[in-house]
């Protein structure tokens, strides 16, 4: 229930106002076109030691160019499917980091750790690719469905 309320508040905030970069959550930041989990983390890290007064302040963070800054200024957001993909990829990345730190603690040698880390990274990469492929398929299905509706509307208009 809390998640539903949070999502509702989040969607309302997107409709009526630009995102406050100083207080936005990781999910809110990731909703901006061009900002994924890593860039959202960069913003959160940056704002711990610096105040963000405007979107232009993002140029002080490595990896933020004019395109992303323009997206923030114009409050351009990503589609629902892309947002869901970003959240899933973010979870995969968080799990990957946790597994690597556990492997580091439990490994008896550098070689063993390196092997475990490689397996963890390969598995995470595979999962991310699966998520992206599923999102691509969903987008294609939605596009085809939308096109079919347009064709049907054209045929009905001719009658």
Final residue of a structural domain among 73, 92, 117: 73
- In angstroms, the CA 124 to CA 93 distance is 7
Three-state SS at 12: helix
68-98 pLDDT tens trace: 889 888 887 777 777 888 889 889 999 999 9
Q: What is the mean pLDDT of the chain?
A: 84
pLDDT beyond 80 at 148: yes
pLDDT beyond 90 at 153: no
- In angstroms, the CA 44 to CA 33 distance is 17
Task: From 23, 21, 16, 45, select the one nearest 32 (Cα to Cα).
Answer: 21
The total number of residues written for the chain in this structure: 159
Q: Count how many domains the chain has.
A: 2
- Residue 14 pLDDT grade (very low, low, confident, very high; cuts 50, 70, 90): very low
Q: pTM for the complete prediction?
A: 0.61
Q: Are residues 138 and 86 in the same domain?
A: yes
Q: Are residues 97 and 69 in the same domain?
A: no
Token pair belonging to 66: 């004019």
Helix (H) or strand (E) holding 31, with range, is none
Q: Are residues 95 and 137 in the same domain?
A: yes
Among the residue ranges 9-18, 59-68, 140-149, the one predicted with the least confidence is 9-18
pLDDT beyond 50 at 12: no
What is the span of the domain harbouring residue 51? 2-73
Final residue of a structural domain among 40, 73, 106: 73
H helix and E strand count, the chain: 6, 0
48-76 pLDDT tens trace: 999 988 888 999 999 999 998 898 888 87
Q: Are residues 84 and 149 in the same domain?
A: yes
Q: Are residues 46 and 18 in the same domain?
A: yes
- In angstroms, the CA 16 to CA 87 distance is 23
Contact 58, 43 (CB under 8 A): yes
To which residue do tokens 């390196």 refer?
114
Final residue of a structural domain among 73, 106, 128: 73
């Amino acid at each position: 229930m809390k998640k539903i309320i949070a999502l509702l508040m989040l969607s309302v905030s997107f409709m009526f106002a630009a995102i406050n970069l100083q207080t936005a959550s990781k999910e809110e930041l990731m909703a901006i076109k061009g900002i994924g989990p890593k860039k959202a983390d960069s913003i959160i890290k940056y704002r711990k030691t610096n105040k963000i007064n405007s979107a232009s302040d993002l140029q002080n963070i490595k990896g933020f160019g004019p395109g992303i800054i323009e997206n923030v200024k114009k409050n351009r957001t990503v589609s629902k499917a892309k947002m869901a993909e970003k959240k899933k990829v973010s979870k995969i990345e968080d799990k990957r980091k946790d597994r690597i730190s556990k492997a580091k603690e439990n490994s008896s040698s550098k070689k063993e750790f390196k092997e475990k880390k490689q397996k963890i990274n390969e598995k995470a990469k595979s999962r991310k690719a699966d998520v992206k492929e599923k999102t691509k398929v969903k987008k294609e299905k939605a596009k085809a469905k939308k096109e079919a509706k347009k064709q049907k509307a054209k045929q009905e208009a001719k009658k």
